[in-house]
Amino acid sequence: MVEIRSARFDDIAACATLADELIGPRRARPFTEAALDRRQLLVASDNGSLVGCLAYTTDWFNCTFVSLVVVKPDQRRKGIARELYRAVEAESTSPRLFSSTEETDAASIRMHSALGFTASGYVDNLPQGCRELLFYKRLDGGRHV
């Protein structure tokens, strides 16, 4: 049974291992620690074992922006990312939810479409060497103001 909850300090090593795939070993730990300090790091835990994490920020043009989501490779296509996004949607005080991915990441692009995001432009000139695609989803109801 997968539980989605806020991260705790003792989740950081496992979150950094997951984040490593996306942002590399040098940035992974400080990135996840900063998200934990802001209380904007969610984890998916399967019987105590960390199988996914999602970091977000609320200081991006005054909107909620998902800055990282990773699911453990052998746990993919089980709806874990879907549940992590459901949790950030419930926590978001802004009705504007943004997320992004490299234009070469086909799985992530498919996931954003499946979760109801629409394309919302792109960012050029990043050090990663390809465009970062932006995605947007309007949230209604709940605590969104």
Ligand X SMILES: CC(C)(COP(=O)(O)OP(=O)(O)OC[C@H]1O[C@@H](n2cnc3c(N)ncnc32)[C@H](O)[C@@H]1OP(=O)(O)O)[C@@H](O)C(=O)NCCC(=O)NCCS
Instruction: Sort 27 into a burial class: Cβ within 10 Å, 0-12 / 13-18 / 19+.
Output: middle
128 phi/psi in degrees, rounded to 5: -65, -15
Please state the φ and ψ torsions of residue 105, each to the nearest 5 degrees: -95, 85
Contact yes or no for 101/119 (Cβ under 8 A): no
71: left (phi over 0), alpha (psi -120 to 50) or beta: beta
> Taking contact as CB under 6 A, which single stretch among the options 8-16, 29-37, 89-97, 106-114 is the one that binds ligand X?
106-114
Binding-site member from 13, 90, 114, 126 for ligand X (CB under 6 A): 114
List the x/- string, 17-46, binding to ligand X by CB under 6 A.
Answer: ----xx------------------------
133 touches ligand X (CB under 6 A):
no
Q: Which of 3, 30, 93, 107 binds ligand X (CB under 6 A)?
A: 107
Q: Residue 71 CA to chain centroid, in angstroms?
A: 10
Determine if 130 is a binding residue for ligand X (CB under 6 A).
Answer: no
78 binds ligand X (CB under 6 A): yes
- For ligand X, the binding residues (CB under 6 A) are 21-22, 68-71, 76-82, 101, 105, 107-108, 110-111, 114
